[in-house]
Structures are given as C-alpha cells and as structure tokens.
Amino acid sequence: MAQIVDTSDFRPGLKVKWEGGMWVILECSHHKMGRGGAIVRTKLRNLETGSSVEQSFKSGERFERIVFDERPAHYQYKDGDDYVFMDMESFDQVYLSEDILGDAVKYLIDDLQVNFDLYEERVMGIELPTSVAMQITDTPPAFKGDTASGGGKPATTETGLVITVPFFVENGEMVLVDTRTGEYLERAKK
C-alpha cells in the first residue's frame, strides 16, 4: 500500500514520486501568501538522473512517499569518478557515481559504515550515519584573544569539506561532523 504525504510533511531527505520520477527533497521552505493559500518552495534532486530542480507546490498537494529497503554497506575507496562500496550481505563490490551519491561524497571516509537505499533491488543512494569522525587537514592557527569575537574559524577536513570549528581546534585533530547539517559537533574521542 502506497504511503501518501502532503506538502506539510516536506523536509530535507524525504523521497517522493513526482512527474513520473523519484525525487529527494534537498531544501524546502513554507511561505504564506497575503491573500491566497500557502506555497512550499523546494529544491529537488532526481534519484535516477542526479539532476536538480527548484519547484513550488501549493500547500496541501499530495504525493506518494518512496520507502526504500536498506542493506548495510561499507565504503572502501574512490576509483576514478566512482565510489566503491562493499555490500555487507552479498559481499559484492558496488560502484556508485557522484550523481547518485550527491552531497554524501563530502562525508565518505575509509571504512565508513553506511546503508544502501534500495528500490526494486536497485541502489538509489546511501544513508549516512548521523555523525562522522573526520580529520582536520587545514585550519589557521588560533591567536590569543580570538575567543573574544565568538564564532569560529574555517577548517578543511580530509575529504575537502569546509566546516566552521572553534578556535582551539588544530590541524591533525579528529572532530565529529553532523552529516545532516555539515556542522562541527565536538572533538572526536580517541
């Protein structure tokens, strides 16, 4: 039985059928119009082609939600333009492109445990853990008095992802990064 959702259920990561394709919501915002009903502005990515579109929907529009089967997998390495995973049930190597993975590539570190999102036995993407321990490879040094301004400083991780970290974080340190928001959480436990 198909699960139906409407625009009030929209949130980043929700997967829906729309115009004959399978789409994941990347961004959404609800806007109340002066006279008419509300609209929901979204940015969507097609799960089959990787293309992105911006689309507005009327409040209350209904869609079929796509529910994927999950299967555990292990990220192994990058091979050219593809990312290689091991299916932990069949032990097959699965090659996925950046188009399928989207922003998840920013968090792929060696031996990362993920889940494949499967639809009719086809891998449509991956589900990341909520946080990943990543090494800081480049960040400016802290200077006495930096903390007075609050905030933080930019830092580049081993995958090239740039995050904002507190001033006390230095090159070579391991930090936990939230994969849903791309934000620094804390220093990783050793």
What stretch of H or E contains 138?
strand 131-138
CATH of 69-127, one of 2.102.10.10, 2.40.50.140, 2.60.40.10, 2.40.110.10: 2.40.50.140
Q: Domain segments of the chain: what residues?
A: 3-65, 69-127, 131-187
* Residue 47 vs residues 127, 132, 167, 174: alpha-carbon distances, Å: 13, 24, 38, 32
Is pLDDT of 87 > 80?
yes
CATH number of 131-187: 2.40.50.140
Is pLDDT of 16 > 80?
yes
Digit-coded pLDDT (tens) for 36-82: 778 889 999 887 777 889 999 988 899 998 888 889 999 999 999 99
Asked whether 17 and 81 are in contact (CB, 8 A), the reply is no
Q: What percent of the chain shows pLDDT beyond 70?
A: 94
Is pLDDT of 146 > 60?
no
Residues 124-147, mean pLDDT to the nearest whole number: 83
Is the pTM value of this prediction over 0.75? Answer: no
Mean pLDDT of the chain, nearest integer: 86
DSSP secondary structure string, 60-97? T-EEEEP--EEEEEEEEEEETTEEEEEETTT--EEEEE
Is pLDDT of 150 > 70?
no
